[in-house]
Structure 1
Amino acid sequence: MTLKPNRPRHSRRTAYIVAEYTVKEGTHRDVIKNIGADGLLIRTTRKIADGQSIKLEFPLFQFDNTVQVAGKVVRVDSDGFAVAFDERIDALESKDGQPPEIVHEIDR
């Protein structure tokens, strides 16, 4: 099996989480659409350059406890961009075939 370039290597789950992120274009807030232990996808109409470093902060398991991660923008399209984390978030790995519970903005 051949992997497509810049595609996640681990499973991702649907998310609806507002993230604050900093890239060379500035600091912005947009919605995470899916997330996994190795990266995430943010939907936005902003023009973000591919290949650059990114720092993100967002709630993951509790709204009052944010996660801070760094990574690299690995894919950009007209609907947003994908990020590969510098370090995996192991707590997002599925346990016994079940993904861990994460927060969603609709639950605020």
Structure 2
Amino acid sequence: MKPIPNQRQYPRRTAFIIAEYTVKEGTHRDVVKNIGAGGLFVRTWNKIDVGQPIRLQFPLFDFENTIHVSGIVSRIDPMGFAVIFNEPINGLICEEGHFPEIVHEGDR
């Protein structure tokens, strides 16, 4: 297994987005707590192993369009786990230090 970097390549912002994800432990739905072009953090009580592949889907820029991404679980802690995407989400790459608008479950 290749080493998982500890340094974020892109900044992240606070989020509140429900995501569905599939890992070897099964398919689950939990809340994305922060996100950036290169990864995210999911808050969950599920026990997820670090270093494994993951597939996620969630609304990002509007509720009608779902983003599908894959990556590696890079870190776990008692509150959830972090993911590094295999490919960055281009729409989240900050321009001039500002994040684009993303959806928020509180706006439904």
Please indicate the TM-score interval, normalised by the length of the shorter structure. over 0.9
Q: Aligned AA for 1:35?
A: I
Aligned length: 104
The separation in 1 between residues aligned to 2:75 and 2:23, in whole angstroms, is 14
The separation in 2 between residues aligned to 1:49 and 1:87, in whole angstroms, is 21
CA RMSD between the two structures: 0.9
1:47 aligns with 2:47: yes
What stretches of structure 1 move > 6 A for 4+ residues in a row? none
The separation in 1 between residues aligned to 2:21 and 2:28, in whole angstroms, is 5
Consecutive unaligned residues in structure 1, runs of 5 or more = none
The separation in 2 between residues aligned to 1:59 and 1:99, in whole angstroms, is 16
> How big is each residue's C-alpha offset from its partner over 1:26-70, in whole Å with a ceiling of 9 and x where there is no partner?
000000000000000001111000100000000000101000000
Q: Aligned AA for 1:88?
A: P
TM-score (norm 2): 0.93
Q: Alignment identity in percent?
A: 62
Consecutive unaligned residues in structure 2, runs of 5 or more = none
Deviates more, 1:55-64 or 1:89-98: 89-98
Shift of 1:95: 1.8
